[in-house]
Amino acid sequence: MNALSAIATTRQLTQRAVMRVLLERGALSRAELARLTGLSKQTMSEVFRELEGDGWVRESGRTQGTVGRSAATYEICAERALVFGADVGGTKVQAAIADMHGIILTEMIEPTDARGGEHVIAQLARMSRQLAERANVAVERLLVGTIGIPGAFNTRSQRLFMVPNIAGLEGTRFADTLATQVNFDIHVGNDVNMAAKGEQWMGEGRNVDNFVFIAIGTGIGMGIINERRVLSGAHGAAGEISTLPIGADPYDGRTFRAGALETAAGSVAIRERYEGAGGEAGLTVREIIDRIASGDTIASATLDAVARTMAEAVLAVSAVVDPERVILGGSIGARPELLERIERLLPLCMPSPPHCTVSELGSRAGLYGTIASSLDHLRESLFRTPEIDLPMPHAKPVEVKS
């Protein structure tokens, strides 16, 4: 490294140190910043001249000092760098943009393009532009985006696999293709992993180092937070618990595609079990569970069986990753009737059951997770050195009606 490069690097590190403190602590005076960073008055003046010129910091007010003296306070221009997040499902796409504090500026929901493949990719690129326009910000301020997909993303091959609900995405280089249509970095993650990330940031996983988020609905999936990090596995498929050999024969060809656990406890299995036991045909899973309150014994027995299977799944998961907490979500997992049954069964099959709870974020967990992931990547690009590592922002996103 030559002398000029060394000076530039030192200057960048100094700027980032100031930005780090402002982002973490909020508005501060230059004197307070000098004390916290150890920078001299002259260096601080030079740093502020550059940061203000580039639009990273601004004056926010004044603080009252001794004997009536006051000093200007400064804050990060949180809208200087924006992030994009999108939770893509088989039927709808939820997307939003947020500032550096994690405050959602605007969001939108629209049906997933039924043509799939490249059309869904183009849809996401268009939505990012529309969101920037709606928030009245330059699209160039979008620096990072994260997309949650109902499938697995292999970071080595950069290809998607196990994506049965959206046509034309299996085996594609999704991130690379989308990156050619936008002007910001693209990252891809499994949708349930993103929901787990959302729970870590905004939900039941706050301040919990090790937990799992289990989504139970049409399918069954799991996101794992291990030592405060999303566990993805060698091929991006960690947490695909639908294939656990529980509830059905894993060697039975009929369970091979969906997985034994999903075959035994997914929404199709619940309807089939209920009708097979003599229950009324044609009901949705929601209607079946609703009937428990009115005394439908077949509905109650059906959910008992599902709870027993899921308790065994929690036992298996606990033996491998040892979570402190299990968060249930999805259209079936969020039902309190299922939670009550699982909580009763767990002490019967394991000595120290993890605490179980239901997500309060609902369908927004995945969206929050993509925003949180984008913020992680943004901080990684802005603050690459260990000395300038930033914690997640604590600000709660403002819900914006689309």
- More confident position, 89 or 61: 89
CA–CA distance, 357 with 328 (Å, rounded to integer): 6
Q: What is the pLDDT of residues 339-363, one digit of tens each?
A: 999 999 999 999 999 999 999 999 9
pLDDT tier at 9 (50, 70, 90 boundaries)? low
Residue with tokens 């490294």: 1
Give the pLDDT of residue 10.
Answer: 67
d(CA 119, CA 5): 44
Could you tell me the pTM of the whole model?
0.87
Q: What is the pLDDT of residue 159?
A: 86
All residues at 6 or more sequence positions from 178 whose CB lies less than 8 Å from its CB, including other chains:
121, 124, 125, 145, 147, 186
Of 17-21, 134-138, 325-329, 361-365, where does mean pLDDT reach its minimum?
17-21
Instruction: Strand 142-149: give its sheet, edge to edge.
Output: 104-111, 92-98, 82-88, 142-149, 185-190
Query: Measured at the alpha carbon of residue 363, what is the angle toward residues 358 and 367, in degrees to the nearest 5?
Result: 115
Q: What pLDDT was estimated at residue 391? A: 47
The reply to whether domains 79-197+364-388 and 204-360 share a CATH topology is yes
Query: 93 has which bridge partners?
Result: 88, 110
Higher pLDDT, residue 140 or 256: 140
Q: Which residue has the higher pLDDT, 338 or 79?
A: 338
347-372 burial, b for 16+ CB within 10 Å, e for fewer?
eeeeeebbebbbbebebbbbbbbbbb
**Residues 310, 325: contact at Cβ < 8 Å?**
no
What pLDDT score was predicted for residue 135? 95
CA atoms of 241 and 227, how far apart (whole Å): 20
pLDDT for 253: 87
User: Which fold, 3-76?
Assistant: Arc Repressor Mutant, subunit A (1.10.10)
User: Any idea which of 4-8, 49-53, 207-211, 270-274 has the lowest mean pLDDT?
Assistant: 4-8
- Which is more confident, 145 or 38? 145
Which of 20-29, 269-278, 325-334, 377-386 is least confident?
377-386
The secondary element (H helix, E strand) that includes residue 190 is strand 185-190
Nearest to residue 149, comparing CAs of 232, 221, 87, 218? 87
**Statement: residue 394 has pLDDT above 50:** no
> Which residues is 29 bridged to in the sheet?
73
- The secondary structure of residue 280, as a DSSP letter, is P
Binning pLDDT at 50, 70 and 90, where does residue 389 land? very low
What φ, ψ does residue 290 adopt, rounded to 5°? -60, -30
- What mean pLDDT, rounded, does the chain reach? 88
pLDDT at 138 over 80: yes
Question: What does CATH list as the number for 204-360?
Answer: 3.30.420.40
Q: What is the pLDDT of residue 78?
A: 86
pLDDT at residue 384, as a whole number: 62
- pLDDT digits 0-9 by tens, 163-175: 878 889 888 899 9
pLDDT value of position 71: 81
Superfamily of domain 79-197+364-388: ATPase, nucleotide binding domain (3.30.420.40)
Share of the chain above pLDDT 70, in %: 91
Look at residue 400 and tell me whether its pLDDT is greater than 60.
no
pLDDT at 396 > cutoff 70: no
pLDDT mean over 382-401 = 50
How do residues 91-110 score in pLDDT, each as one tens digit?
999 999 999 999 999 999 99
CB-CB neighbours of 81 under 10 Å = 21
Provide the pLDDT for residue 64.
Answer: 66
In the chain, domain spans: 3-76, 79-197+364-388, 204-360
Phi, psi of 244 (to 5 degrees): -55, 140
pLDDT for 33 equals 84
φ, ψ dihedrals at 2, nearest 5°:
-80, 175
**pLDDT by residue (tens digit) across 184-225?**
999 999 999 999 999 999 999 999 999 999 999 988 999 999
pLDDT surpasses 80 at 5:
no
For residue 387, pLDDT over 60 is answered with no
Q: Check residue 3 and give its pLDDT.
A: 37
Which one, of 210, 385, 216, lies nearest residue 313 by Cα? 216
